Amino acid sequence: MQRSFISNIRLGTSQESIESNDSLTLSLGFNIDGLIREIFSQKNWERAYDKHDNGFRLTVLLELKVCKKTVENIKFVRKAVLFWTRNPKLTYRVWISIIKEETPYYPLTIEEAKSLLFDITKNIILESKMLKKGENNIQISIRVSWGRHLYTEPSELRAESEFVKVIKF
């Protein structure tokens, strides 16, 4: 049986060392793959739309850990909204818009829609006061969830990034 999973987790930093009054930018990227990505198709969008299941909400919870201690929790949502379209560029009657960080996107292909919804990149600003003097191991725990829909059951996925070392002077 196929399942959904988090893959290709990438955690990077803007610098490997930091002064006491600086801030550090972390860049996190990951993909949601497997069953959910496969069944998130135009045929299923149309079936769901006909049954008044017009939205899909993906909740992402990030737990930022420094030396295994949680210093910040970050929550954000991605939404997919199904709608009736008369766009001449599309050959379908039901299409999708993806809402990322309060901005709607109107993809022209199914693959672009999947990428907008399931390929996540996030920049996180970490203040130096959250780090101890010397070497710090930074890691992010990822939790992704969604609810029941015509084409999927409610699910929750979990994963963790590799450690990134940062030295505070």
- Tell me the domains of the chain and their CATH numbers: 4-168 (2.60.40.10)
Q: What is the pTM of this model?
A: 0.92
Q: Among the listed ranges 5-14, 28-37, 81-90, 94-103, which one has the minimum average pLDDT value?
A: 81-90
Element counts in the chain: helices (H) and strands (E): 3, 11
Give yes or no for residue 1 having a pLDDT over 70. no
Residue-by-residue DSSP string for 120-169: EEEEEEEEGGGS-SEEEEEEEEEEEEE--BTTB--EEEEEEPPPEEEEE-
